[in-house]
Amino acid sequence: MALKAVIFDMDGVLVDSEGFWAQAEKDVFSSYGAKITDDLAALTKYMTTTEVTQFWYSRFPWDNLDVTEVENQVVTRVIELILSEDCIMSGVQGFIKNLKNEGYKIGLATNAPLRVAEAVLQKLNVRDWFDSIDSSEQESQGKPHPAVYLTAARKLGVSPEYCIAIEDSYSGLKAAKEAGMKTIVFTNDHEAVHLGMADFSISNFEKALLPAIS
């Protein structure tokens, strides 16, 4: 099998930004009267921004819910944190550049909104190396549903069986698997991360190579 495309998740793979989402949720939803606890916040970790907003509203209803406005506040706060903090995964820019030089098509498939993805790629200065950028906000369901990966493959013009996805979460790996792709779990040097779910693993990007696939 000739691998033709590599599709990246974003949060936890390109940037170490998952804590920013928790901070943004706390900042925004607390202002609407939600009582943010670690246990409840953990339940939202892999939700889309729309799902997160509905989650907190269902538990702590506030007057005049405007989902779009609240989502925008969360997303804006996340972007502020991404742009101001040192959060780039070490070595990831060189890893992407090498893939591009070797002729692979490069995609991004994330549950995060597109404007967060654009901010991340601009921060990494890798926007021009990506052939497609896809968000679950454009799908009826987010990961672990495979829709965003199927869309990414279609836009790249590559059948899923010739794609490999790099993920750090169970829900992301499940989405890519159900789309018919091979998977790599990025552990960021934490070796216990979902190893059994993925076909391959990368502990860090500094000296990483794509696995030989046949």
Please identify which of the residues 11, 131, 134, 168 carries the catalytic annotation.
Answer: 11
Neighbours of 77 (CB within 10 A): 18
Sheet strands (E) in 22-177: 105-110, 132-135, 163-167
DSSP string, 73-88: HHHHHHHHHHHHS--B
Report, in angstroms and rounded to the nearest whole number, the Rg of the chain calculated over CA atoms: 17
- Is 86 a residue of the active site? no
- Is 11 a residue of the active site? yes
Q: Which residue has the tokens 């033709």?
A: 4
C-alpha pair distances (Å), 42 with each of 24, 35, 169, 172, 192 = 14, 13, 13, 16, 19
Please identify which of the residues 9, 16, 131, 168 carries the catalytic annotation.
Answer: 9
Q: Which of 127, 142, 115 is nearest to 54 (CA)?
A: 142
Q: 170-178 and 147-156 helices cross at what angle (nearest 10)? A: 60
Active centre residues (catalytic): 9, 11
